[in-house]
A and B are shown apart, each in its own frame.
Chain A
Amino acid sequence: MMAAPEPPEQVDGLLEKIADTALDDDYYVVRAGPHEQSRAFNTVLTGLVLAVFALLVAIAVIQTRSDRPATERERTTLINDIDSRKSTLAARESTADRLREQVADLQASVVGFDAAYEELRLLASDRGAAGPGLRVRTSPGQVLGSDITDRDLQTLVNGFWYAGAEAIAINGKRIGPLTSIRQAGGIIKVNYQSIGSPFEIVVLGDSEALEDRFAQTAVGRDWLERRKNAEVRFDMTRSDDLTVEAAPKDRLTIKHATAIEGDS
């Protein structure tokens, strides 16, 4: 309570002021008033106000009580909701983990296995190949004009390409897109590697069709002619189990040409 001489404003703080003037000033004021007023507590007015107060409290209590089940229900619903979402989340997470593992596995298995890429590698003779085809053995004869030159081998290889060959190797040297067959100093070189007689040419493809179609080409007829007349040894055997190696890497490397942008 404030001391009388102090002006009311000079209290230390708002909260202290509130605490100090907790009792309504009117209770003091009226006492000092000239007309004495009722100090009786036991009045109808007081009873009425207290009845209103009690009513307010009762209403609030009842309201809160009746609201509680709804709130409780809401709470339980929310908790159940959270639980179910959590379990959904856990399930999804485990699914995600499983799928991630699958992706990793598939990625691991896909490295080195792209079907189109592998086919292109096969076509570009970047891979060894196996399959049915023809094994051709040829060696020069003794008489004049029966030797086998680089040009003869070139036409022979071209003849087999024409006949439908899918992969060709001469003495184990695979014919790739950049392969050359040329003669230097009397020695035939394939992929810059020397080869000598007898030549063994492995041709992969449909062996029967290869043989038939080769025999019909000019090259084929020429070689069969030479075999008859010039004693050039030339025989073809069909086989179901032939293999050719990959062309050497340096004959598969493009150094100057680049792919045209956007041309696929």
Chain B
Amino acid sequence: MIPVIGLAVGIIAGLVFQPTVPTDLQPYLPIAIVAALDAVIGALRALGERRFNDRVFVVSFISNVVIAAFMVYLGDQLGVGSQLSTGVVVVLGIRIFANAAAIRRRIFHA
């Protein structure tokens, strides 16, 4: 129940306060979201496999977001920002798909 409430609170807070992201941080937001999505999907899979651990979830979430944002930042500093972003998205995308496939297998047995 609490996680669902958390989701709702996050969405409502975003809609109500409509915080603007500082221009300097804007390039990192999409990558951070993809990284966060990876952590969330992983958590869902772990939940399905009865391995879920909220501490692991929190740590993986934060580390994913921070590392992804850091890699994009580093790429920007090195002049290969878009390439590195693509690399991060590819890796995270594969993880997301793999985890989603595992969830699908568990639910539908297929």
Closest to B47 in A: A41
Taking CB atoms, residues of chain B closer than 8 Å to A90 are: none
Residue in B6, B20, B49, B52 whose CB lies within 8 Å of A50: B6
By Cβ-Cβ distance, the 8 closest A-B pairs, closest first, are A58-B14, A54-B10, A47-B6, A22-B98, A51-B6, A47-B2, A51-B10, A55-B10
Contact indicator per residue, chain A 31-42, by CB within 8 Å of chain B (1) or not (0)? 100000111111
- Known pairs A23-B99, A27-B42, A59-B14; A54 contacts B6 (CB<8 A): yes
Cross-chain contact B14 with A54 (CB below 8 angstroms): yes
- Known pairs A22-B42, A26-B60, A60-B33; A52 contacts B53 (CB<8 A): no
Shortest distance between the CB of A29 and any CB in chain B (Å) = 8
Cross-chain contact A43 with B42 (CB below 8 angstroms): no
Taking CB atoms, residues of chain A closer than 8 Å to B14 are: 54-55, 57-59, 61-62
Closest to A53 in B: B36
Residue in B26, B33, B95, B96 whose CB lies within 8 Å of A56: B33
| Bound: A191/B100 CA distance, A | 110
| Bound: A33/B30 CA distance, A | 35
Q: What range describes how many residues of B lie at the interface?
A: 35 or more
Cross-chain contact A24 with B56 (CB below 8 angstroms): yes
Contact indicator per residue, chain B 27-61, by CB within 8 Å of chain A (1) or not (0)? 00110110011011011011101111111111111
**Dominant SS at the B interface?**
helix
| Bound: A170/B54 CA distance, A | 125
Taking CB atoms, residues of chain A closer than 8 Å to B19 are: 59
Q: What range describes how many residues of A lie at the interface?
A: 35 or more
Say whether A113 faces chain B, with CB atoms less than 8 Å apart: no
Which positions in B face A, CB cutoff 8 Å?
1-3, 5-11, 13-15, 18-21, 26, 29-30, 32-33, 36-37, 39-40, 42-43, 45-47, 49-61, 91, 94-99, 102
Cross-chain contact A19 with B94 (CB below 8 angstroms): yes
Cross-chain contact A42 with B3 (CB below 8 angstroms): yes
Say whether A44 faces chain B, with CB atoms less than 8 Å apart: yes
Say whether A48 faces chain B, with CB atoms less than 8 Å apart: yes
Cross-chain contact B98 with A46 (CB below 8 angstroms): no
Cross-chain contact B30 with A60 (CB below 8 angstroms): yes
| Bound: A44/B2 CA distance, A | 6
Shortest distance between the CB of A35 and any CB in chain B (Å) = 12
Shortest distance between the CB of A81 and any CB in chain B (Å) = 25
Cross-chain contact A22 with B99 (CB below 8 angstroms): yes
| Bound: A23/B103 CA distance, A | 11
Taking CB atoms, residues of chain B closer than 8 Å to A63 are: 20-21, 26, 29
Taking CB atoms, residues of chain A closer than 8 Å to B43 are: 46
Taking CB atoms, residues of chain B closer than 8 Å to A45 are: 54-55, 57-58
Shortest distance between the CB of A235 and any CB in chain B (Å) = 102
Taking CB atoms, residues of chain B closer than 8 Å to A60 are: 21, 29-30, 33
Taking CB atoms, residues of chain B closer than 8 Å to A61 are: 14
- Known pairs A15-B94, A62-B18; A24 contacts B42 (CB<8 A): yes
Supplied contacts A24-B46, A53-B61, A54-B7, 13 more A-B pairs, CB within 8 Å = A22-B94, A22-B98, A23-B51, A23-B102, A24-B42, A37-B55, A39-B52, A41-B54, A49-B54, A50-B40, A52-B10, A55-B10, A59-B29
